[in-house]
Structure formats: C-alpha cells, structure tokens
Amino acid sequence: MSDREIFRGLFELIGYMLTSARGLVNEPPIYGPFRLVDGVSRLCTLLENETSQYKDFFSMIKKKIDEKKFTVITDEATFIGMIDEVVLDYTKRLKKT
C-alpha cells in the first residue's frame, strides 16, 4: 500500500470514528465496544502490509477480530471473550517490546 493510500485510509477511518461517536449517542451500548474493535481491525488493515516489527501482530489481531466481531449481534459472550483474548495478545506483545 502506498503512503497516499494509507493516508486516504486514515482519512476515511476518521470518518468512521467521527460518525461512530455521533451515532453511539443513541445506539445500544454494546455497539461501542464493537465500533472500537472494528476500528482496530480497520487500522490493522492499513498497517499490516507495512514493513515493521508489528506486521505479524497487526495481521493476527485483525484476523481474530474479524472472525468473531459479528457475534456481537448473536452471541455477546463470545464477542466479549474475543476482546478479552486480543487484549491479552496485545499485552503479551507489549511486554516483549
């Protein structure tokens, strides 16, 4: 992905975050965690092709989030369990850095 494409993607992510912030004022509370983890997935999409020490990590948590994010509307416990799992993954990675 070129720098231009990444910045365009970040620009669009701002649109997602701003409209999420406004929308969440009147939406079910569980949509808040969903928008945040979906935002993480979108950010990872922009960054996973970049050469960096976090490349594999970005791909791994994006995969984990995308696999289970829609359980938010069918199985809330699984959805929350997924967040717990990626938080733990993140923390383990943080300790290594």
The correct pick among 70, 76, 81, 87 for binding other proteins (CB under 8 A) is 70
**Other CB atoms within 10 A of residue 50 CB:** 12
| Number of continuous H segments (helices) and E segments (strands) in the chain | 4, 0
**Other CB atoms within 10 A of residue 37 CB:** 22
Q: Which is nearer to other proteins, 35 or 68 (CB)?
A: 35
Q: Which is nearer to other proteins, 38 or 48 (CB)?
A: 38
The correct pick among 3, 4, 15, 97 for binding other proteins (CB under 8 A) is 15
Rounded CA-CA distance 50/1 in Å is 8
CA-CA-CA-CA torsion for 11, 16, 17, 22, nearest 10 degrees? 130
Q: Is 19 in the site for other proteins (CB under 8 A)?
A: yes
Q: Which is nearer to other proteins, 56 or 75 (CB)?
A: 75
Site residues (CB under 8 A) for other proteins, limited to 39-68: none
Q: Which positions lie near other proteins, rule CB under 8 A? A: 12, 15-16, 18-20, 22-23, 27, 31, 35, 38, 69-70, 73-74
